[in-house]
Amino acid sequence: MSQISPQTQTGIEFAAELLRQSRHAVALTGAGISTPSGIPDFRSSGTGLWSRDEPMEVASLSAFRMNPSQFFEWFRPLARQMFEAKPNPAHMALAELESQNYIKSVITQNIDVLHQKSGSKSVIEMHGTMQTLTCTQCYHQVRAELYIETFVATGVIPRCPKCAQVLKPDVILFGEQLPQAAWSAAQREARKCDLMLVVGSSLEVLPVAGLPMQALDRGAHLIIINNVPTYLNVRADVVLLEDAAATLPAITERVLNG
């Protein structure tokens, strides 16, 4: 980071010390960790997806069922961005912290698979994943890489190899429940952790936004790295209103090398 303010430097040092002292730290990530990789977030004024589109009209389960072609038309540019995106230094930093046993798991609201691409092993995907597609008729599941590249290039809606019905990306649309296994795993981690590191999430989308409160209620420390304030800034041990792609690597460097 260039031009680090004394306040930011102090926050980096304190965050690193908390991570070094923790026994079971977990990360909670949102769209802000992936914007440096070229993937737009949803709520930023002017640039977020929901500042341009009405989510219930394009990204709800009912909209998908009624008009899948409209969904795929909306989804194609986003799928292209995700397909072409590379992990940024923030993703790499979390993967390094996990490999060195400072982070036990990553709970993510993202569907872009960038944590896995960066090397993270224990990833809990709260809002589904772009790794697979499932048939809307016979529920046959396929690996996304077999279909997404062709869809991005041609716009042809992916169809099931068994029954030829539409394949739905395994992402959670408005009106769908969270994956039960992922939600249970995330709650276990929130209750078990002694430190939660929130990166790139405005903590506005429930129920995931309540996970840091579960951790706090059990005495865990809280670090928040996000460009804008969250409702839990007043409860956090460290708040860094900075770009995660610059700040998190600086914290990780200090954790690993002092």
- Helix, strand, coil proportions of the chain in percent (round to 5)? 45, 15, 35
Length of the chain: 258
The residues near 139 (Cβ < 8 Å, ≥ 6 apart) are none
Exposure class string for 105-138: b at 16+ Cβ within 10 A, else e: bbbbbbbbbbbbebebeebbbbbbbbbbbebbee
Q: Which of 91, 127, 140, 221 is catalytic?
A: 127
If residue 254 lies in a helix (H) or strand (E), which one and from where to where? helix 244-257
Query: Residue 127 catalytic?
Result: yes
Strand order through the sheet with 141-143: 141-143, 128-135, 167-171
Tell me the two tokens of residue 77.
């540019």
Residues forming the active site = 127
